[in-house]
Amino acid sequence: MKDLYSLPMSGVLWSRCGGNTDDSGSEEACALIAEIPGIPGAIAIRDTKKPGVELRFDADETKSMTARLVRMFAV
């Protein structure tokens, strides 16, 4: 498995996730998500307030996290 943190992310399209604005409209809860180039199903997630800090997940971790979130929030 490749070290996901060694892969370049320059030029990727970061998309806003849902729930990006708090009640005051200040975007306090603004999360962004992007696909990691060259690794099918791998993603990176970051906060707009800390653009240099991100979490990266391979395809299996992404699937596991998604399944857990669905169970937690009964979506």
In the chain, where are the structural domains located? Answer: 10-73
- Residue 42: CA count within 13 A, CB half-sphere: 19
The enclosing H or E element of 48 equals none
Give the model confidence (pLDDT) of 30-55 as tens digits.
Answer: 889 999 999 999 999 998 888 788 99
Q: How much is the pLDDT for 24?
A: 62
Distance CA 14, CA 34 (A): 5
* Residue 25 pLDDT greater than 90, yes or no: no
* Residue 27 pLDDT greater than 60, yes or no: no
